[in-house]
Structure 1
Amino acid sequence: MRIAVAGGTGTVGRYVVDAARLQGHEVTILSRATGTDLAAGTGLIEALRGTEAVIDVTSISTQSGTVSEKFFGAVTHHLLEAERVAGVGHHLSLSIVGSDRAPFGYYAGKAVQEQLVSTGSIPWTILRAAQFHEFAAQIYKQITLGPVSLVPTMISQPVAAREVGRHLVELAEHGPSGRPADLAGPEVLRMADMVRSYARAVGGRGPIWEVPLPGGFGRALRDGTVTAGPGAMLGTQTFSDWIAEISTREDPA
């Protein structure tokens, strides 16, 4: 099967690419480096000729609902239109657990993405996954107050990005399936505890404080809205397992 991966160089994308190639699939990475611009929609039709499935794992670093909606709206529209012209038979999007119940900030863009995909003409699959283990690393020291790192008060059910990548390839092989079971990790944790564990693993210093975010989004992060419900598929790698991997990589010995 020929699979195109939008966002194939990102946190999850590289695992999607690796898993697809391991299964013997031909992979096209959609990026500016390969002559395609997802936000502008250029070069996509040519890149998608002969492609059977597109896996969209694109992302943007923002907490602005407006910016997120604009980005995911443009990328999804361009991909779906190019797929229609090129004759692609399956579009897979990676979304987030809770995006339908808390369409605020970054999640607002995922809600737009889901709407476009589920009402479009291309047969589709949307996988909602929980935050990745790597999310703790992404938000560490993102917001600081002097030596203090601030972390939003959040209940998470982190899943290994590697497992998400493998599962997306399995879904591509299966064919369009609409909304399969959500994918989350095997345990529910506080994000502040995750960030503290990550900081220790990489030799970070300074205190880490929890800060509750205001509004509906902050409430959703605190009350478990972004954790998986009954019927979810659970990954196997725990966050502590992932931290052990990080510690090994950081160990100069």
Structure 2
Amino acid sequence: MRMVVAGGTGLVGKLVVEEARKAGHEVVVISRSRGVDLTTGAGLDEALRGADVVIDVSNIETLSGKKATGFFETVTRNLRAAEERAGVKHHVLLSIIGVDRVEWGYYQAKLNQERVALAGPVPATVLRAAQFHEFALQSLTRMGGPIAVVPSMLSQPVAAREVAAELVRLAAGDPVGMAPEIAGPEPLRMADLVRKVSRRCGPRKWVLGFPMPGRAGRAMATGGNLPTGPGLRGRQTFDEWLNELR
């Protein structure tokens, strides 16, 4: 099967590419470094020629809900239009557990992206995942200085590689709309995970769990990012992942 991975040079994208190739699929990577611009559509028709399925794990790093909405909606509409022209049969989108319960700008942008993807002319599958184990390391190193400010969040973190493998499995099958959510083995506090990473491999910082304001903050702190029903549960614990870092 010919799989196109949008955002295939990012954290999850690289793992999706690896898992797809491991499963014997032909893989095409979409990224600006490969001459394809998802925000303008430049290069998309060539990249999607002969494709069976597109896996979209593209992302934007921003705290602005407006910017996130503009990015995700534009990218998804460009992909869907190019898919229809190319005769692609399946669109697979990675999303986040809790986007329908946590009223935060970025999450609302992802929720809107889900709607655009599912309403398009090409049948789609949406996989909502919990925060990755790697999110704790990113939170620690995102900003310089001696303090790492982390949202007060209760999550059920999952290994990014396990999410990548599930995306590939779903892509190889028939479209299902909303797929069962994937999360890790156990609920954990994000600030505690960041502290563990700091102690284990540095940089050593004072980790401050900061309650985000309003309903979004309350939802994050009280389980809005936890899975709500039966679904896939990753096998690798956070501590097992942490032990692999060094």
TM-score range, shorter chain: over 0.9
**1:175-219 deviations in whole A, cap 9, x for unaligned?**
211111100000100001000011112132232111101022212
Residue matched to 2:162 = 163
Whole-angstrom distance in 2 between the partners of 1:147 and 1:237? 30
The Cα shift of 1:103 comes to: 4.0
Residue matched to 1:232 = 231
Residue matched to 1:63 = 63
Q: Is the 8 A contact 1:150 1:210 kept in 2?
A: yes
Aligned residues: CA RMSD:
1.2
Q: Is the 8 A contact 2:147 2:205 kept in 1?
A: yes
Q: Is the 8 A contact 2:125 2:176 kept in 1?
A: yes
SS at match of 2:178: coil
Counterpart check, 1:93 vs 2:93: yes
Q: Is the 8 A contact 1:19 1:166 kept in 2?
A: yes
SS at match of 2:11: coil
Runs of at least 4 residues off by over 3 Å: 141-144
The Cα shift of 1:71 comes to: 0.7
Residue matched to 1:14 = 14
Specify every segment of 5 or more residues in structure 1 that has no aligned partner in the other structure, as ranges.
249-253
Whole-angstrom distance in 2 between the partners of 1:203 and 1:121? 47
Counterpart check, 1:193 vs 2:192: yes
The Cα shift of 1:148 comes to: 2.4
TM-score, structure 1 normalization:
0.94
Residue matched to 2:79 = 79
Whole-angstrom distance in 2 between the partners of 1:20 and 1:94? 15
Residue matched to 2:109 = 109
Whole-angstrom distance in 1 between the partners of 2:208 and 2:151? 8
Whole-angstrom distance in 1 between the partners of 2:228 and 2:156? 10
TM-score, structure 2 normalization:
0.97
SS at match of 2:74: helix
**1:214-237 deviations in whole A, cap 9, x for unaligned?**
022212211101111221210100
Point out the more displaced range, 195-204 or 83-92: 195-204
Q: Is the 8 A contact 1:72 1:113 kept in 2?
A: yes
Residue matched to 2:30 = 30
Point out the more displaced range, 60-69 or 47-56: 60-69
Whole-angstrom distance in 2 between the partners of 1:129 and 1:149? 24
The Cα shift of 1:141 comes to: 4.5
Q: Is the 8 A contact 2:141 2:203 kept in 1?
A: no
SS at match of 2:98: coil
Q: Is the 8 A contact 1:143 1:151 kept in 2?
A: no
Which residue identity lines up with residue 157 of structure 1 in the other structure? Q
Whole-angstrom distance in 2 between the partners of 1:49 and 1:194? 43
Whole-angstrom distance in 2 between the partners of 1:15 and 1:134? 13
The Cα shift of 1:105 comes to: 2.2
Residue matched to 1:251 = none
Residue matched to 1:206 = 205
Count of equivalent residues: 246
The Cα shift of 1:87 comes to: 0.6
Percent identical? 50
Specify every segment of 5 or more residues in structure 2 that has no aligned partner in the other structure, as ranges.
none
- Classify 1:168/1:133 alpha carbon distance in 2 versus 1 (closer, same or farther; 3 Å): same
The Cα shift of 1:160 comes to: 0.3
SS at match of 2:185: coil
SS at match of 1:12: helix
Which residue identity lines up with residue 81 of structure 1 in the other structure? A
Which residue identity lines up with residue 190 of structure 2 in the other structure? M
**1:108-165 deviations in whole A, cap 9, x for unaligned?**
2211110101111111100000000011111114357x63221111101000000000
